Structure 1
């Protein structure tokens, strides 16, 4: 595929988006750098259908960067409860702090500034610059990787090559529409299984389509690891004793009953993370050690703090 064909791909994507794109998504209705940032952080490892309600809730609480200035990390984590990948919420807090400390509350507008913010890598920076500032920077999220892999029949993911191909396909005249369009094509047409090739505006240029290869060409996800947890449930009437821990390697800074990793057991409580299968149980304990760090929370408090969703659900069901 020569340079003129690649440039034409960008125009095809832009034209398709303007007619068929998901322009009703909440983060596309009123575009600001702040709103693009929040939506891009939420959309990392999260499907659009799931992210929408969390985005609306977040923007209702913090409609602008300035409104988030005094927010604590716990405040942001509580809005993230149930969305998963809680490190993203911590990154938002850390980035917000850096913006007010180093940029005087001004949201960064250059690539070199953006990638200094916690949680923002090359692809997220490219999305913010293209969508919020109409600057032509490539992106390489999972949807775009899949489209590029099929377009150019690349069976092995070579990061440098994929970045070059992503940059070459850009529509520099309308980066906003192009980036929204290429992500929408990946999400709605060029899906991992059963892609809708006849409906794709790029099918005439797609090497995978020409060779009738319809499977997903990018790497398969790694096998999930099983983790077994035991929570110590301390109760004082309607109150629960909860603590924050970083020992698990996940659910960092979230509130939960004191927990430890244990050997395999037959669990009725299960929860799937993207990289782990969590099996857990509760053990009722009467006497709270005097040196244990944590806080007491009533059941009604649980809705206002950041807990892992499966733990929150179980505590709310507890009589």
Structure 2
């Protein structure tokens, strides 16, 4: 059993060297910093969407030294439209730790990488395997699907899947293996219509042998609706905005003052992963007192961090 797992891991590494997606931008010039940024972007984001954001981010900040003096606002602004803005805040917090406590050098040990904000076990494993060629397992969505079908595990058990991931890992070439198993999950062992005929694991895969190509049960939390009325204060080509973290999302982003209501005649519907937002905009003259409020010239809106549905509206004023 152990031998067949090792052979499967080596087959994945061999497959990657010939068929892997080496054209992805974060694979063309591999550094710990670039792997880290790509992994943060790809949390909760599809590769096709992540490519443009990665290119934009690394054009502005190509390495750790260039991002040293970036403010949280600078990073949030580059993140606009990608969602899950907390990831941008984590990048800011992590680079502060790296420069202030780690002498500006990206850590090379598992525990040190895990201590960085926003980095979990799978992200740390990807950084160590790809950037440092150290054999650590990963367990993202694509890898879970490959493992579940290969071992015919229809119920996800996190502890067990970490063991399976480590057992299959090609410890001689973790660089090729990790990128290979992610690519197989993304391009071959897909949720729908897996292309088993070209899979390097087809001879040993229990799902293929049984012709049972299942998906792990998805945890689907019911989306909640939230109605927001934004008060737009606009005069002399200036707009009044506040920073408010009470919503639990859009943290540290600038937006007009707002009220949460039971219902509204919404202008737009904006969908988040866990909420449907029904947003109404109202013009108002009176400005209430806000400790965290500030007037911005309209021309400068594109240079500050605001939620995309808000900035789209404000730029049309």
TMscore range, shorter length:
over 0.9
Deviations 1:125-156 (CA, angstroms, capped at 9, x unpaired)? 10000000000000011111111111112122
Residue matched to 1:192: 191
Task: After superposing the two structures, state which structure 1 stretch, 249-258 or 126-135, moved more.
Answer: 249-258
For residue 237 of structure 1, what is the aligned residue in structure 2? 236
Asked whether the equivalents of residues 156 and 219 of structure 1 are also in contact (C-alpha less than 8 Å), the reply is no
Residues 242 and 290 in structure 2, CA contact (< 8 A), matched pair in contact too? no
Q: Secondary structure at the match of 1:240?
A: strand
Specify the SS of the correspondent of 1:270.
strand
Q: Deviations over 1:79-99 (max 9, x none)?
A: 111111100000011111111
- CA distance 1:300–1:200, change in 2 (3 Å): farther
Residues 244-294 of structure 1 show CA distances to partners (whole Å, capped at 9, x for unaligned) of: 111101111111111232113353411111111111111211111234531
Which residue of structure 1 lines up, in the alignment, with residue 306 of structure 2?
307
Q: Whole-Å Cα distance in 2 between the matches of residues 122 and 292 of structure 1?
A: 39
Equivalences for residues 196-211 of structure 1 within 5 A: 196-211=195-210
TM-aligned CA deviation for residue 222 of structure 1? 2.3
In the aligned structure 2, how far is the partner of 1:227 from the partner of 1:11? 49
Runs ≥4 residues deviating over 6 A? none
2:254 is the counterpart of 1:255: yes
SS at match of 2:315: helix
What value does the CA root-mean-square deviation take over the aligned residues? 1.4
Asked if the contact 1:194–1:215 (Cα under 8 Å) also holds between the matched residues in 2, the reply is: no
Aligned equivalents of 2:290, 2:20: Cα separation in 1: 56
Partner of 2:60 in structure 1? Answer: 61
Q: Which residue of 2 aligns with 1:85?
A: 84
Which residue of structure 2 aligns with residue 35 of structure 1? 34
User: What is the 5 A alignment of 1:79-118?
Assistant: 79-118=78-117
The residue that corresponds to 2:14 in the other structure is 15
**Number of residue pairs the alignment of both structures matches:** 317
8 Å CA contact 2:128–2:136 kept in 1: the answer is yes
SS of the residue 2:49 aligns to = helix
- Once the two structures are superposed, residues 66-111 of structure 1 have per-residue CA deviations (whole angstroms, 9 ceiling, x without a partner) of 1111111111111111111100000011111111122111110010
Q: Contact (CA 8 Å) 2:243, 2:253: kept in 1 or not?
A: yes
Aligned residues of 1:150 and 1:217 also touching (Cα < 8 A): no
Do the aligned partners of residues 195 and 264 (structure 1) sit closer, same or farther apart at CA in structure 2, a change above 3 Å counting? farther
Measured after TM superposition, the shift of residue 223 of structure 1 is 2.4
